[in-house]
Structure 1
Amino acid sequence: MVKGYNYIVNSFFDYLENRSKAVDSLLCVGLDPHIQHLDKPSAAAARDFCLEIVDSCAKYACAFKPNSAFFEVFGAEGISALREVISSIPEDIPVILDAKRGDISSTALAYSNAVFQHLGADAVTYSPYLGSDSVAPFVRRPEKGVFILCKTSNPGSNDVQILESNREQIYLHVARQSLVWSKHNNIGLVVGATDPYALTRVRDIAPNSWILCPGVGVQGASLKDALISGLRKDGMGVLITVSRAISGESDRAAVAAELCDAINRERESRKQNHTVHVTNNIAVDLIETGCVQFGDFTLKSGQQSPFYIDMRRLASFPDVLNRVSKEIVKKVLDLRFNCIAAIPYAGLPIGTAVSLLLNKPLIYPRRETKEYGTKSSIEGVYKSGETAIVLDDLISTGGSKFETINSLQKVGLNINDIVVLIDRQQGGRKLLDSQGYRLHAVYTISELIDEWLAFELIDNNQFILIKNYLSESA
């Protein structure tokens, strides 16, 4: 029987999940009594420091994670203090000892007995470098858990963990091996929030495993990215570990409460996105019509992109074109203009549909000036001095929009606003702003990829790849 429950649970992770559901928390509060944070350098001060954190944060903690090193530094007294801290933690809260053990045979067994029997921890962090037989003594009891170091949060982790063996990076091999190293459900993984791409890949390999996720807080990792990359489909499976960002504050309970709220807001957001009905959703439409495709594409600029947008296909799907046009109409209702200037080619079908909905004249610039007839550069009926909005399918850097703006201004039209369906977030808005023009976009590409992920039209791997691309090309 696991401590804290008057009924039998099957494994350590049953115990952990029971606690998580009971307090609606995925927060693991780290207990790291750094000497410089103590009133004096002593085991007693380390103990008291941690006891205060436990008392403040117990109601918000899914688990506590004391770091053995900060107690061991005080010798035998430190070990006694660590034992006192662990025993003080309420019985319904799991204790994960951050000791990063790793040895073989009888030595591993001795470490196991020390962690679980003498100190009373429920789980321990563990180095997998010595292989399955070194882990075996720690996982022989289903009610005790092991979090295997997989992709750690420190900058030097790439020195070893991303090296390849048999065409697979070592940390991915570790994740795969963790699935077969115990017959009980009592092995989890340590993956740093500082590398959401790695977290995504580990989650793909181990879709049901619990992941201990350090790096949020002082190390600066994004809580949102960690949850997007690491959460299971049931909204669980990730323990967000925070130590110094809590212990360094005067009102630790308030910080812990806010972290819990932030975690749960993101969980709820993902839950709602997963349950939204997909009918008539433009983000879904763009995928299903092939207007957005994923892969490795060379853009006109020569840049490589993990996605490609081809809105010229939209004209072949009148129902989708109609929905897109209605969304654009919502964006322009408060704008003052006399006509719509649609940019060929992808902008023309959209502009025509918007023109019909608004009963506003449509004009468009020619790609090349006619050498015959009226030799007009702008097709359609307009008057000098009128105001036109420029309408297109998307904007990237924004440079090409000025060709249209200049053509329209040459014939006496006033231009204040540019309207697009998608902003690729590659500097276009900033460039237009710098020249005094306003950009109105129905979607940013970031908003779209959030929806595609929520509807499972892309996986976490693609999501992180696109986010990294956008960050690099911004």
Structure 2
Amino acid sequence: MTSAELFNQIKAKKSFLCIGLDTDIQKIPRQLLDTTDPIFAFNKEIIDATHDLAVAYKPNLAFYESLGVNGWNSLEKTVNYIRYNYPDLFIIADAKRGDIGNTSNLYARAFFDAMDFDAVTVAPYMGEDSVTPFFTYVGKWVILLALTSNKGADDFQYMTENNEKLFERVIKTSAKWGNEDNMMYVVGATRAEMLADIRKIIPNHFLLVPGVGAQGGSLEEVAKNGLNKQCGLLVNSSRQIIYAGKDEKFAEKAREAALEVRDEMAGLLEKYL
């Protein structure tokens, strides 16, 4: 999927919502535990209830890996279900991989060949040769960690040398590895005030923005500082949507929560684009 195709989805749905499928077996409604695959059953209902409001879904792999083989099976069934029923949706593997080239080749094969994700999150710490193997897959994306929303981001990401913060150096250097049709960046919503400065470095790249909702990030601030002419944003919301309801009407409640976010996004697109 190209950035233009992604933007067309955003315009059609008036939404730049990415729903995080952080599906915790300990938090899903109890009635699903009697099904043959509770994780997939939960994901399926969430996806069916929200697919027309979102442009992307982002399974966080830790929630699936923690269940061993059964979790991987649930993940594969989830991706296949989206591919078959809603093929225009963008699917992100939130894996945060990053290793030497040989290993990255196999990570890329796993997520792009075996699992057919559109994108994978990648950590930049090991440098160019740990990232470039992912670019060998045409139509697939690297989403590089740049400025994260967690408290620990202050430990390293804001370190400054010659008036340049470390996350700025990461963006400036890595932007030469890919292009606007195969590389995005993670920028946390709780750091929304930095988006304007980041846009000066990469005005045309898409940004994946977590931290809206349960983590307290402001969607208004993200849009004001981060939107570009092609929107250029995928804003992720996970817990606020998928756990909006805890009983048999959980999917209905998830839709209501997603609709509230989508409607706000529609207004922001009209306001700033």
Q: Which runs of 4+ in 1 moved over 4 A?
A: 40-43
- Report the counterpart of residue 210 of structure 1 in structure 2: 206
Identity of aligned residues (%): 38
- Report the counterpart of residue 248 of structure 1 in structure 2: 243
Displacement after TM superposition at 1:16 (Å): 2.0
Separation (CA, whole Å) in 1 of partners of 2:131 and 2:12: 30
Higher relative contact order (CA 8 A, sep 6+): 2
Instruction: Identify if the C-alpha distance between structure 1 residues 79 and 15 changes in structure 2 by more than 3 Å, giving closer, same or farther.
Output: farther
Structure 2 stretches lacking a partner, 5+ long: 246-252
Specify the code of the residue in structure 1 equivalent to 2:239. Answer: R
- Report the counterpart of residue 70 of structure 1 in structure 2: 63
- 1:128 correspondence with 2:118: no
Displacement after TM superposition at 1:124 (Å): 0.8
- 1:105 correspondence with 2:107: no
Q: Is the 8 A contact 2:135 2:182 kept in 1?
A: yes
Q: Is the 8 A contact 1:43 1:81 kept in 2?
A: no
Separation (CA, whole Å) in 2 of partners of 1:96 and 1:198: 24
Displacement after TM superposition at 1:18 (Å): 2.9
- Report the counterpart of residue 110 of structure 2 in structure 1: 114
Matches within 5 A, 1:218-297: 218-232=214-228, 234=229, 236-250=231-245, 251-271=253-273
Matches within 5 A, 1:30-49: 30-38=20-28, 39=30, 40=33, 44-49=37-42
Instruction: Identify if the C-alpha distance between structure 1 residues 213 and 257 changes in structure 2 by more than 3 Å, giving closer, same or farther.
Output: same
Q: TM-score, normalised by structure 1?
A: 0.53
Deviations 1:210-265 (A, max 9, x none): 00001110001111111111111x26001110010001113111211111110121
Q: 2:10 aligns with which of 11, 20, 23?
A: 20
Displacement after TM superposition at 1:15 (Å): 3.4
Q: Is the 8 A contact 1:200 1:229 kept in 2?
A: yes
- 1:58 correspondence with 2:51: yes
Structure 1 stretches lacking a partner, 5+ long: 3-10, 272-474
Separation (CA, whole Å) in 2 of partners of 1:158 and 1:225: 20
Instruction: Identify if the C-alpha distance between structure 1 residues 41 and 231 changes in structure 2 by more than 3 Å, giving closer, same or farther.
Output: farther
How large is the Cα RMSD of the aligned pairs? 1.8
Residue aligned with 2:139, SS: coil
Q: TM-score, normalised by structure 2?
A: 0.90
Displacement after TM superposition at 1:141 (Å): 2.2
Instruction: Identify if the C-alpha distance between structure 1 residues 184 and 227 changes in structure 2 by more than 3 Å, giving closer, same or farther.
Output: closer
Deviations 1:5-36 (A, max 9, x none): xxxxxx3x233223222322100111011232
Alignment size in residue pairs: 260
Deviations 1:85-126 (A, max 9, x none): 011111110101111110112110000000111111110111
Specify the code of the residue in structure 2 equivalent to 1:269. Answer: K
Separation (CA, whole Å) in 2 of partners of 1:16 and 1:152: 23
Bigger-Rg structure (1/2) = 1
